[in-house]
Structure 1
Amino acid sequence: MVMPSLHIGEIVEYIVYWINDYFGFLLDIFSEFIDVLISGLRDVLMFLPPVAFTVAISLLVYFLTKRKAGLAIGTALGFLLIDSMNLWNLSMETLALVLSSALVVLAIGIPLGILSAKNELIYHIIKPALDFMQTMPSFVYLIPAVIFFGLGNVPGLVATIVFAMPPAIRLTNLGIRQVPVELVEVSDAFGSTPIQKLVKVELPVALPTIMAGVNQCIMLSLSMVVIAAMIGARGLGYQVLVGIQRVNIGQGFEAGLAIVIIAIVLDRLTQSLTPGK
């Protein structure tokens, strides 16, 4: 018996082009919003001169990490090294892309995580979608992103959002579900509304787990900067891509080192914001 051929790829391609044809105006609005968000964050980050920004970020790290002087000094040396490699502007562009994607991911992921923790039907609908998003090769996201948004920072950020969203949803869902039943029952006994129970009991208790999702979201966003450069996203990822194309070891290493410095600083900052750390 010969199994019938299923042209799933053609079906998906038809759906993608159908969305682009009939909902292109909504995609254009979203594209404009994302472009303004990235440009705004980039302008804010580049407002201060490199030395002033380095001092500011080092002081922020010092106070947020409970006065860990070694980490603050390491942050300062790292950003000064980035400036000395003439990668400051590209680094700020990468940082703007990462922060933009993290903001969008958390604005969508945390509410979805809360809803999936509260509603089993939503959870069973979202769970296979998250499995699909996490296991699908990240390069595949680039194709519809280019069709919907062309080339540039916007499609790169959209692909990053899809790639980085699952941990934010999963860990928010997990944190809410792990809230002790006794605390929920006490809040119910005192007549708390669902919103009061969520804001005053469940979210504070779940915050360490949610912050772990925030940390993972930022790290995954940084890991996508090189891949997103393949469809026109600027920043350090593009520098790495050019280094690969030209087999320029030095150029690729310097850009990669700058990404590592930014990743370490963002990782330590998000960890310091987690209660109990």
Structure 2
Amino acid sequence: MTASSSRVALVTGGGRGIGRAISLGLAADGMDVAVNFRRDREAAEATVEEIRSAGRRAQAYQASVDLLDDDRRLVEAVLADFGRLDVLVCNAGIASRGQSVVNTDPVELERVMRTHAFGAHHLCQLAVPAMREQERGDVILISSVATLTHAANGGPYNMAKAALEALGYTLAKEELRHDIRVNIVAPGLVDTTMGQKLMRAVAGVDDLRALDPSMPFGHVCTPDDVANVVRWLVSPQNTYVTGQKINVDGLANFLR
């Protein structure tokens, strides 16, 4: 693969759900996209093929973001293949198991924290130096409106997303002088596999679309709703926004 003159985005967890929508959206906006996956190679390759069919370059990369060695290998491979890196979207994530603090397995706590917070820190540390070489860089951290309420029985997830946001606010200040914008995008309930599993577990809802009439604007948030915010934040239209968190939930948490 020859070096690219187009902006290059690395999207972790980029083959499915929100990550897939972001990968496709950035490609539609003229970027080449490195699509990271942990296990679902088939989904990642399908996303890559869709991007290529639209005329942009794309490649799938297997890496578990909670492992520093994997993160180092991932960033090195993207830079070797594309020749540059302009946009990092830290989207990969996992859910916690809904236990109280007292009943949480320490192994689960560490796994969730490493995936959301440590992994994002590793990737920023590895990717930002390459972004400094470009005219502009963008880092997007996909968090959650869970940090607005810190609901019971979600300690690992709440803690991990709060740490992720702390990383974003800190990095935005550090990299301002390098023309790198760092922003946080925080969805609520989204129509993804994870969202479907969550609502099945907590509310016995098998079809998220059945919730549409009760949701803001008449529908459950979609991956494209989230991707559209990311697309604007990394676009030329965003000239002056950094160090911000945008909640993408239609104010659902405040209407209940």
TM-score normalized with structure 1 length = 0.25
Report 1 or 2 for greater relative contact order, CA contacts < 8 Å, sequence distance ≥ 6. 1
Structure showing greater radius of gyration is: 1
Would you tell me which structure has more strand in proportion to its own residues? 2
Would you tell me which structure has more helix in proportion to its own residues? 1
